[in-house]
Amino acid sequence: MVDTGIFATTAEVQRKIGANANVTANAEAYINQFITEAESFINCTTRYNWSDAYAGLNADVKALLKLAASNLAAMYVINYDLSNFPSRVEAETRLDVLRDGFVKAIKLLDSQEVKTFMVNA
């Protein structure tokens, strides 16, 4: 199987997940689904189709999209089964860190000034 997402890869998501994630959810097929869902969410939330514009975007802009998509996809993997983590606090801390990065990225992507900068970068 190959990566099907545009913004992030399975390996990038797995690096953010860390140890102890559920093996089923941490597999490429599940992560591909989570990435495409994240990409669609990002496009709809920011009211801009970053997926269609992706090839023409600057590398820095692509990195912000990668941050948002990989964080959200990693949250889906971790949330799939919290029982594999040594403590619930460990899983919740990872989710909190990923959520904070995702929320900051979405705020930037949704800003009209930043969107104009990113499209023209």
Report which of 32, 67, 34, 62 is spatially closest to residue 50, judged by C-alpha positions. 62
Alpha-carbon gap, residue 99 to 93, rounded angstroms: 10
Task: State pLDDT tens for residues 41-71.
Answer: 999 999 999 999 999 998 988 999 999 999 9
pLDDT in tens, 31-45: 999 999 999 999 999
| CA nearest to 49, candidates 41, 60, 59 | 41
pLDDT at 112: 84
**What is the model's pLDDT at position 89?**
93
Neighbours of 94 (CB within 10 A): 20
CB 4: neighbour CB atoms within 10 A? Answer: 14
Domain ranges of the chain: 10-120
The percent of residues above 90 in pLDDT, for the chain, comes to: 85
Distance between CA atoms of residues 46 and 94, nearest Å? 25
Q: In whole numbers, what is the pLDDT of the chain averaged over residues?
A: 94
